Structure formats: C-alpha cells, structure tokens
Amino acid sequence: MAGNFGYETYVISDATAAFDRVGIHGEKYNAELVHLMALANLNEEFATVMNAEELLKSL
C-alpha cells in the first residue's frame, strides 16, 4: 500500500516467510509456493522485491 502513496517500498525476500495454506476448494499449497506467489504479486506493483545480498550492495 505504501508504494501506492509514492514511497519506495522494499520487501526482502529472504527475510520473510510463509506457511502451508489450504485453498478455497480444499487444495493444499506448500509454503515455498505461497512465498513465491506472494513475492510475485508484490514485485513492481506494490514494492521492489530483493534479497538481503542485493539490499546490502545497494547501500
């Protein structure tokens, strides 16, 4: 949401986590897929997704 207000927002992909989830039709999604999909949905839409190494290099 902050990205929608003009802030430069970052998500550090290897400093976040997800958990296994059950979908609306009972299908099971493992944590890795949930994590990757959440990052994909955020990237370049609401935030810039990068890993910790990329962050440290940019400082």
Is the whole model's pTM more than 0.75, yes or no?
A: yes
Average pLDDT, whole number, for the chain? 93
For β-strands 28-29 and 21-22, DSSP reports them as: antiparallel
**How would residue 2 be classed by pLDDT, with cut points 50, 70 and 90?**
low
Taking residues 4-13, report their average pLDDT. Answer: 86
Domain with 44, as residue range(s), is 2-58
Taking residues 3-13, report their average pLDDT. Answer: 84
How far is the C-alpha of 3 from the C-alpha of 55, rounded, in Å? 18
Identify the residue with better confidence: 8 or 2: 8
Looking at the structure of the chain, the number of domains it has is 1
**How would residue 5 be classed by pLDDT, with cut points 50, 70 and 90?**
confident
Torsion sign (Cα): 48, 53, 54, 59: positive
